[in-house]
Structure 1
Amino acid sequence: MYRRIFFYSLMLIVAIYSQTTLGQTVTNVNISESDDAPIISRHIYGHFAEHLGRCIYEGFYVGENSTIPNSAGVRLDIIEALKELQIPNLRWPGGCFADTYHWMDGIGDLEKRPTIVNTWWGGVTEDNSFGTHNFLNLCEELGAEPYLSGNVGSGGVQELADWVQYTNFKGKSPMSDLRRENGRDEPWTVKYWGIGNEAWGCGGNMRPEYYADIYKKYVTFMSDADIEGGLYKIASGASNDDYNWTEVLMKNIPKNMLEGVALHHYSVIDWDAKGPDVDFDEQTYFNTMKESWLMEELIVKHTAIMDKYDEKKEVDLIVDEWGGWYEVAEGTNPGFLYQQNTMRDAMIAGMNLNIFNNHADRVKMANLAQTVNVLQAVILTEEEKMILTPTYHVMNMYKVHQDATLIPLSFDSPKYTLKEESLPALTISASKDEGEKTHISFTNIDANKAHTVSLDLNSLNIKNISGTVLSSDSLQDHNTFENPDKIAPKDFKDFKFKKGKLEVNIPPFSVIVLEGYK
């Protein structure tokens, strides 16, 4: 009798232990490959460069006479860093700035270009030395698609139509002739065009019904003739949970005039009290993660509205502004939006990229705000110095998903709990590339606990696995110009892989990417 009791007790202990690792509950992740799974568009990994603070001037652009090594005035170290990221697209010139920018002010003889006051960002005077040619030539050098935001707020229909002709028309016309006079014979063939920016706010404080009519008017005069497949036109979309905006646009704009609808969402806890960029406490971190997690809900609800009017998913969701937004770094210009980039930003990046990947059926482009020296930047500069941020490293780790086929996953995430509130601790996404390599990315936002996951990979025919992790000792850790490599990816080996079964221990506030291959 006692032996039987002992035996059953032992079996119970083994069963409990089999579901735990050092006291941690094991989360089972189910894999369901599908023949009709979507491709994760490389354009999800896009970037954003606005005339804001030190993003363009003193960031990208230092001028041809600078002692900092440059190509046509653009820093060579930034070019090489962005090439390493394989950035697929770059959005320019804004942002709010776009609806005050007149593109013809930025072409032709430098000495004759008028100045402009950047009324949105710091009230600084710019000399228009960085313009259309500089930006489009930079995109060519990066191998990235340019994404131009047209001026609908203060610019006219003809102005935008002329910009399209200037950049794209191969034949003889007033605008193509002007382009050739300015030193560029062949057009750049710019495919991606935003029709205004944040039309509900800084782009004109419009009603959605009014903007829908404005949108149709502008795109009517934008020539598709010289672009294979036509221009890819993106409507200024909703802010956060303004679902009515999406409803009105989808209802009132014919699908043959619309390729994408934008969505903007920042991980900001309070627009009047955003919290510090470095010296934040765990409660502030938790609240930021809660705002970041809203991206999942926003995509689900906005796409549900899109599905009502577009069952075949012919119109894409374009998240062309996303990222963390805090109070500016101490001692910097409030209008320049310069902030440090900590492990908290790595969490935002990993979480959101997993969300975008998992919604690849609708989300076809996203643009992190912003590339250099502004908000959740991937690069920070200080005169001749340059550093790569934790966000840069996450995007570099995740680039393996670009244009790969999504592998759908399902699981019940363990919770990250603080006081009386809880959030899902884990986001995970997976894909298979053309070379039959499988990549699985994990982000654990839990500030205190590691979490263990288990996956059965037998259906994927994987024989070997290697991994990379981004982690640090403190959420507030960041790279500095004095210590630029404090946070950098490292080899990851804290997993077990046997007979097709994978078990991974994911440290607190860390990002991991595993590669599986034959």
Structure 2
Amino acid sequence: MKKNLTFLVLLMIMHVAKAQTTASLTVSGKSDHQISRHIYGHFSEHLGHCIYGGFWVDSSLNVPKKDRIRLDVVDALKKIHIPNLRWPGGCFADEYHWRDGIGKRSDRPKMVNTNWGGVTEDNSFGTHEFMELCELLHTEPYISANVGSGTVEEMSKWVEYFNFDGTSPMSKLRAENGHPAPWKVGFWGVGNESWGCGGNMTPEFYAGQFRRYATYARDYPGARLKKMASGASDFDYHWTEVCMKEIPLHMMWGLSLHYYTIPGDWGHKGSATKFDEKEYFTTMRKCLLMDTLVTKHSAVMDKYDPKKSVALAVDEWGIWTDVEPGTNPGFLYQQNSLRDALIAASTLNIFNNHSDRVRLANLAQTVNVLQSLILTDKEKLLLTPTYYVFDLFQVHMDAAYLPIQLNSPSYTNGNESIPAVNASASKDSTGAVHISFVNLDPAKKITVTANLKDVQWKTVSGQVLSSGKYTDINTFENPNKVKTATFNGAKKQGNDLVVELPATSVVVVTLK
């Protein structure tokens, strides 16, 4: 019996040892650029219940409101300091005509939202309502202009309506509609997904269109435009090549890239809540392809722009699954699990590590659509696991990027392997160093030993986001199942940092 007990103890020790592994990290204290806060941007399209039923609610709904803007949504987003908000699309942008969304609401024409569900759009939420929302959020607006079905004049006049501080037909119209002062909006997208829903253009044709539209989108005093060219989908490096070659660098602030993590394929994307480890692994492998995409598109841009004057703007990204059963398939409403939080954190680490070129990004989408930060149901509201990632990672906004070298163990499923750990690091204006870690392995705790070159520090604190299963979600009945907690698994060992990452976790530590 004693021998059997000893044998069982040895087996348990071996099992524990097998279930743990190690990683090493080197962090340099020297930085040559900042991580732009605009990497942490968001996206609000006239799609499903993002605008209508999300930000903009019925006047009879019993929630705090300003006009019809839902203030508990605003308050939640203010806490994470969202830096910019992209609007009105998305595919909707290229069928949106801005004059339909100004003036007396009862006089605004209705339209059919042909991209998303075929529902009637009443245009009650337009330019003035969006700008009031941005003012409440203390965030910068990012306007996507209609190139697909619009005109050069339409975009030009919209820029004038937003930005001209003088006497003109557009500034007079803006004043008549209740806002005499210009808003001075900087970020402007010249079309959206022009290779697809934005007009099914070739890159050569689009580059010519960009030059034409951008010429007449004027800079007004105090309102210099940051014009975004509609860039590639996924692995279309040719589109990037043509845009960089054919569009003068001084005409564009950024070139966009869109990439969605799809667990399955476009025909059957997979469930947001019901998936096994094989599907979880496949999803994480696809998520990490963002690093390849950013690296290769950046390399194309480097050929024409070695000084990196043009930003790579990943202004649509996130996980895209099948809609929740029983919901309108055109509304793209999906739940949000711990898996999605790990995707968000891993993607933001990738952007941080490429922040010399990636200087703007927008998660799709903010409320009730795709990888949402917030879900609502009438008066109810919940924060998703992804929301807590943006809360944790806001320490990187406008902080000095610190280069890292990471040696990660593998997470293996079947015959495939991916790095189990990813990370990024920065130093804020107070001198505090922040390191964000992700452990993708669902079975193994991983101990990371970090060598901090040129970094002087005495104390470490942290927060962790994890849960019992990667399928765990927050529901209206149990809204706090997946949320951040104090992290006590980091310690100082000499000048090294030792961090024990729980399985499937996001950890952010602060060194002071």
268, 273, 278: which is aligned to 1:273?
Answer: 268
Does structure 2 conserve the Cα–Cα contact (< 8 Å) formed by 1:65 and 1:73?
A: no
464, 467, 471: which is aligned to 2:462?
Answer: 467
Instruction: Report the equivalent of 1:379.
Output: 374
TM superposition shift of 1:68: 2.0
The answer to whether 1:76 aligns with 2:71 is yes
Instruction: Report the equivalent of 1:242.
Output: 236
TM superposition shift of 1:272: 1.1
> What letter is aligned with 2:144?
S
Deviations 1:67-109 (A, max 9, x none): 3211121111001000001000000000000000000000001
160, 166, 172: which is aligned to 1:171?
Answer: 166
- Superposed, 1:78-477 pairs within 5 Å as 78-228=73-223, 230-269=224-263, 270-457=265-452, 459-477=454-472
Q: Distance in 1 between matches of 2:478 and 2:140?
A: 33
Q: Which runs of 5 or more structure 2 residues have no equivalent in the other structure?
A: 1-12
| TM-score, normalised with respect to structure 1 | 0.94
TM superposition shift of 1:32: 2.1
Q: Distance in 2 between matches of 1:35 and 1:182?
A: 47
TM superposition shift of 1:303: 0.3
Check 1:497–1:21 CA distance in 2 against 1; reply closer, same or farther (3 A cut): farther
TM superposition shift of 1:131: 0.4
Identity rate, percent: 55
Q: Distance in 2 between matches of 1:403 and 1:423?
A: 30
Deviations 1:388-422 (A, max 9, x none): 00000000000000000011000222111001110
21, 25, 31: which is aligned to 1:29?
Answer: 25
Q: CA RMSD in A?
A: 1.3
Q: What secondary structure does 1:278 align onto?
A: coil
Q: Distance in 2 between matches of 1:21 and 1:493?
A: 21
Q: What secondary structure does 2:42 align onto?
A: strand
| TM-score, normalised with respect to structure 2 | 0.95
Q: What secondary structure does 2:330 align onto?
A: helix
Does structure 1 conserve the Cα–Cα contact (< 8 Å) formed by 2:366 and 2:372?
A: yes
TM superposition shift of 1:273: 1.3
TM superposition shift of 1:219: 0.6
> What letter is aligned with 2:30?
S
TM superposition shift of 1:34: 2.5
Q: Distance in 1 between matches of 2:509 and 2:306?
A: 35
Q: Distance in 1 between matches of 2:493 and 2:25?
A: 16
TM superposition shift of 1:195: 0.4
Deviations 1:415-451 (A, max 9, x none): 1100111011111000000011110000111122121
- Superposed, 1:475-490 pairs within 5 Å as 475-490=470-485
> What letter is aligned with 1:169?
F
Q: Distance in 1 between matches of 2:292 and 2:62?
A: 48
> What letter is aligned with 1:257?
M
Q: Distance in 2 between matches of 1:22 and 1:423?
A: 18
In the comparison of the two structures, how many residue pairs are matched? 497
Q: Distance in 2 between matches of 1:27 and 1:165?
A: 54
> What letter is aligned with 1:303?
S
Q: Which runs of 5 or more structure 1 residues have no equivalent in the other structure?
A: 1-16
> What letter is aligned with 2:397?
Q
Does structure 2 conserve the Cα–Cα contact (< 8 Å) formed by 1:238 and 1:246?
A: yes
TM superposition shift of 1:23: 6.4
Does structure 1 conserve the Cα–Cα contact (< 8 Å) formed by 2:24 and 2:408?
A: no
Deviations 1:283-311 (A, max 9, x none): 11111111101100000000000000001
Does structure 1 conserve the Cα–Cα contact (< 8 Å) formed by 2:406 and 2:422?
A: no
Q: Distance in 1 between matches of 2:419 and 2:400?
A: 25
